[in-house]
Chains A and B, each alone.
Chain A
């Protein structure tokens, strides 16, 4: 068949033209249940699973069987549902983490060197600061989702990995935010959430775009490296841990 927009020869039943990106009219633009082995997520199929059933099943699938989840996840159907999922999970995780910050404030302060706790700006997230942060959180989650999806998709385009369009990338990133729930754990929750989320996004990109793990890893890890080296922060953290253990053993 030929693309109705650019007139180039494309495969039959292809929903989008690989040359111009236009919709070809083949296939269902908004899949209801299944399209080519892909189906709605439990969260998007709330008529069947219900609100809490849908959200819990989606969390369970993304966290514990991500390959299967992203392999069967539909890559069309709009951005609203994945955005809503990410927002709900993100808000739950962040709100509980704010409560921990308030409750454990004194404990955390005991671990800090005096010059750090007395430094200017240290108090910016306490008291009213946390309330302001809580109000701004939904905006921050939505903006971050779009910004990160855009950056990752550009990196995918760079390595010819954007086979399914922006929506597939957006969905992979949004559903990977299931890990935000770990932010409810005090102290280490944020680190667990961040690392697990990176792993899920790589799996999500690989399965959603049907590309190699190398391309998916590049798209996720390269911007992290560029954006001021979160990887370097990780190395520094490990170095600090190692130094601390070493110092303890010498005592």
Chain B
């Protein structure tokens, strides 16, 4: 594994700005608009009786925009962590765009990539197991 600092190339998609921006927009929408009121309930849960892997995400966002970080983690830990990472990434991308800073990029071997894939699946399953028990 190698972490390299690189300048953004011309024409390269800035995923931090793009997806961090979308997450920020979502948080602002939940904070200032009655979005959460119109969201449908979970069909997965209504049908099978157990929460789906993304259950609690809306409640996690609502808790977060109210400043309740712990409550946000309780509702859906994985979603809360992903939102925090996206916001940090967005912040750094804005700074990097303004001050032409290098961006960290992770270089992985094929074996390490497989380990990351497996880790991601395990993390999602562990999060789901927590939701089934907790929600």
Q: Which residue numbers of A lie inside 8 Å of B, CB to CB?
A: 5-6, 19-20, 22-23, 29-30, 78-79, 121, 124, 143, 146-147, 150, 157-158, 160, 166-167, 226-230, 232-233, 236
- By a CB distance below 8 angstroms, the chain B residues around A121 are 37-38
When the two chains form their complex, are residues B43 and A229 in contact, meaning their CB atoms are under 8 A apart?
A: yes
Contacting residues of chain B (20-68) with chain A, CB-CB under 8 angstroms: 22, 25, 37-38, 40, 42-44, 47-48, 52-54
Whether A233 touches B117, Cβ cut-off 8 Å, given contacts A79-B13, A226-B52, is: no
When the two chains form their complex, are residues B44 and A158 in contact, meaning their CB atoms are under 8 A apart?
A: no
Q: Mark B85-112, 1 if CB is under 8 A from A, else 0.
A: 0000000000000000000010101000
When the two chains form their complex, are residues B43 and A6 in contact, meaning their CB atoms are under 8 A apart?
A: no
When the two chains form their complex, are residues A167 and B105 in contact, meaning their CB atoms are under 8 A apart?
A: no
- By a CB distance below 8 angstroms, the chain A residues around B109 are 19
Contact of A143 among B6, B12, B25, B40 (CB under 8 A): B25
When the two chains form their complex, are residues B53 and A158 in contact, meaning their CB atoms are under 8 A apart?
A: no
Nearest CB of B to A171, in Å: 12
Q: How many residue pairs at the A-B interface have CB separations less than 8 Å?
A: 59
Q: Which residue numbers of B lie inside 8 Å of A, CB to CB?
A: 2, 4, 6, 9, 11-13, 15, 18-19, 22, 25, 37-38, 40, 42-44, 47-48, 52-54, 105, 107, 109, 117, 120-121
Q: Give the docked Cα–Cα distance between A91 and B85 (Å).
A: 33
Whether A158 touches B121, Cβ cut-off 8 Å, given contacts A6-B107, A226-B52, A226-B54, is: yes
Whether A229 touches B117, Cβ cut-off 8 Å, given contacts A23-B9, A79-B13, A167-B13, is: no
Contact of B6 among A5, A30, A124, A147 (CB under 8 A): A5
Q: Give the docked Cα–Cα distance between A20 and B6 (Å).
A: 12
Contact of A29 among B2, B4, B11 (CB under 8 A): B11
When the two chains form their complex, are residues B22 and A147 in contact, meaning their CB atoms are under 8 A apart?
A: yes
Whether A229 touches B52, Cβ cut-off 8 Å, given contacts A19-B107, A20-B105, is: yes
When the two chains form their complex, are residues B47 and A232 in contact, meaning their CB atoms are under 8 A apart?
A: yes
- By a CB distance below 8 angstroms, the chain A residues around B42 are 228
